[in-house]
Each structure stands twice: as C-alpha cells, then as structure tokens.
C-alpha cells in the first residue's frame, strides 16, 4: 500500500459528520485533515463558480440548498480563502465557513430523512431527492476529448475523471444507507449521547464486527456502564 494514500473512509462517516456541531472546529478540521477537502469551495457545484466547463454543474447547488445569510457568509469566506491561497502560494485553501456549510447540508439531509421515517409528507421526500441528486452528480459518467499530442503527457492520476470531494462521498454513503432501508443504522444507547451510528467508533476500519453494538463508541459504553453501576450502588445503599 502506498504510504501517501488516503485512509479508507468508514462507511458511516456521513452520520459522524452530519452530527458534528458546527462550532466544533477541531472535529471539522480533523475530518478534513483525515479524509480530504470537503469540496464546498471547489468547482463541483451547480452555481457556475468555475470556468472549467468539464467540472461545472456537477455537484450541490449552494444557492438552492443554503439560506441567503449562509450564502453571503460563504461568498465572503471564499474571497478570503482565495487571498490566503495566493498569499501562501497554495493550490487550494478551504474556508471554515465552507466546512460549516457542508456539515449543515448533511445535517439538513439527515433531519429530513428522519422526518420522512417519522411519517412526514411528500414535500420532504422531494426535497431530499433533489439534494441527493445534486450530491451524486460528481459520480456521473463524463466524457472529454484530448488530442493525441496532449494524451502523451496526460497523467491519469492527476485528471478529474475520478475526482469527488468528501462532501459528495458522504452523500453517496447516505444514499446507500437509505437504499438499505436504514437497517444498519442504530441509536446510541447512552441517553446522554443518542447519536446515530452503524459502526462503533474506534473498533474496526470498516464496520464493527458486532451487529448488535449498542453504543457508538467505547467512551459512551464506558460512561453508560459507570453511571448504571453508581446508580445501582446508591439504590442498594438506600435499602
């Protein structure tokens, strides 16, 4: 395995990111540092921010799915990020506002799906369908032409043919979970957590080997067990 390769993405990571608090900068940056750019500031969106016709129109419509205030913040942050990119002579700088926008998109999609599961009407289903469709555009087949002269110098590893930012990969994960009727998704049994999960964090790189895992992490399991132990001990002392 190439040492420079990206680590494998846990298949329930969309749940982890969608349930990340937008003020938790460490959690946001840790996800990006571990798995790559979110892609909100990149060319893969439907709002025409890219001059690259090959990439434009293949992603989320930020104007469709974000409110006016969030779009304004994101536009200002994009300008700041671009100045930082030029100042540091970097290929790309992603703004914190963009990371937050990506998390909020996933959070909104998760909330809509939970509402649908709870019996909401067709309007929510239609809205989620549009968001999933936008997010999955990055994986659509695409065709491009290069001349024989250009093909000689073409490096497949650097082309955009298999490029999909993290945000779109997480949408793909969500689409798979919905297609599987959400059967692998559970709620953490720690009543002070209550997060959705399908793979216990910190146990396996792909999925927890136990299908009946009750807690989203060993921390929640230990915390819940300790609280129950202390409660039983107090109850016994009162008797």
Query: Rounded to whole angstroms, what are the CA distances from 76 to 67, 157, 167?
Result: 15, 32, 21
Position of tokens 């000689």? Answer: 152
Cα 153 from Cα 150, distance rounded (Å): 6
Eight-class DSSP state of 208: -
**pLDDT tens, residue by residue, 139-191:** 877 777 777 777 666 655 555 545 577 888 899 999 999 998 888 888 898 88
pTM above 0.85?
no
- Residue 184 CB burial class (10 angstroms; 0-12, 13-18, ≥19): middle
**pLDDT tens, residue by residue, 78-119:** 777 778 778 877 666 677 888 888 888 899 999 999 888 877
> Two tokens at 4?
């420079």
Eight-class DSSP state of 217: S
Cα 112 from Cα 120, distance rounded (Å): 9
């Amino acid at each position: 395995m190439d040492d420079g390769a990206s680590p494998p993405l846990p298949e329930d990571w969309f749940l982890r990111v969608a349930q990340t608090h937008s003020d938790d900068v460490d959690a946001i940056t840790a996800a990006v540092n571990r798995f790559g750019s979110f892609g909100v500031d990149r060319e893969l969106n439907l709002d025409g921010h890219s001059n690259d016709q090959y990439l434009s129109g293949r992603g989320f419509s930020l104007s469709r799915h974000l409110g006016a205030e969030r779009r304004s913040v994101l536009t200002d942050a994009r300008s700041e990020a671009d100045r930082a990119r030029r100042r540091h002579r970097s290929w790309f700088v992603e703004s914190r506002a963009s990371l937050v926008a990506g998390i909020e998109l996933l959070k909104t999609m998760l909330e809509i799906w939970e509402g649908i599961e709870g019996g909401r009407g067709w309007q929510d289903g239609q809205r989620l369908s549009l968001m999933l469709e936008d997010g999955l555009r990055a994986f659509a087949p695409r065709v491009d032409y290069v001349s024989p002269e250009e093909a000689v110098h073409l490096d497949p590893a650097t082309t955009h043919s298999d490029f999909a930012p993290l945000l779109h990969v997480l949408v793909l994960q969500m689409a798979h979970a919905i297609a599987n009727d959400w059967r692998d998704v559970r709620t953490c049994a720690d009543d002070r957590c209550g997060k959705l999960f399908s793979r216990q964090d910190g146990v396996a790189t792909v999925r927890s080997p136990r299908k009946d895992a009750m807690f989203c992490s060993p921390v929640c399991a230990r915390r819940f067990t300790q609280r129950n132990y202390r409660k039983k001990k107090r109850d016994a002392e009162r008797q």
